[in-house]
Amino acid sequence: MAHYSVLAVTPTDDGWIPDYLPIANALVTKHGGRYLARTASHEQVEGAESPAGLRIILEWPTRAAAIAFMNDPDYAPQLAARTAGSESVHFLIEGRDDLA
């Protein structure tokens, strides 16, 4: 079943971004993921204010694929750089409707 990574990322130091992007892009593809949105063009239309510089949505074929990406040893230094250089929140969401 598809899973979706939904991230809010606000860079606090953008020095990590040039090295991060090519490696993360390749690893997302390696693990079967694809970016659905990766943009600074977003607006909040409901709820308590939750600002973010970027909103990112990735689609994964399975939960296992998403976890394999996060645990990939080649991603570890990139994750560390993103964590050190940004305020980030990452949700992994199962692609199903529990209310249907």
Predicted pLDDT at 7: 98
Asked if the structure places residue 30 within a domain, the reply is: yes
Q: What is the pTM of this model?
A: 0.94
Does 13 map to a domain?
yes
Q: Please tell me the predicted confidence (pLDDT) of residue 5.
A: 98
Q: Is residue 36 part of a domain?
A: yes
Question: What residues make up the domain containing 24?
Answer: 3-42+52-94
Helix (H, G, I), strand (E, B) or coil at 60: strand
- Categorize the per-residue pLDDT at 81 as very low, low, confident or very high, splitting at 50, 70 and 90: very high
| Structural domain contains residue 99 | no
In a domain, 82, yes or no: yes
Cα–Cα nearest to 3, from 52, 55, 67: 67
60 found inside a domain:
yes
Q: Which amino acid is at 42?
A: H
> What's the mean pLDDT in 60-65?
98
Q: pLDDT digits over 41-51, tens only? A: 999 999 999 99
- What CATH number is given to the structural domain containing 87? 3.30.70.100
Element (H, E) at 11: strand 3-11
Q: What was the pLDDT predicted at 94?
A: 98
Give the total number of structural domains in the chain.
1
Assigned domain for 47 exists? no
The SS3 of residue 86 is: strand
Q: What is the mean pLDDT of the chain?
A: 97
pLDDT of residue 31: 98
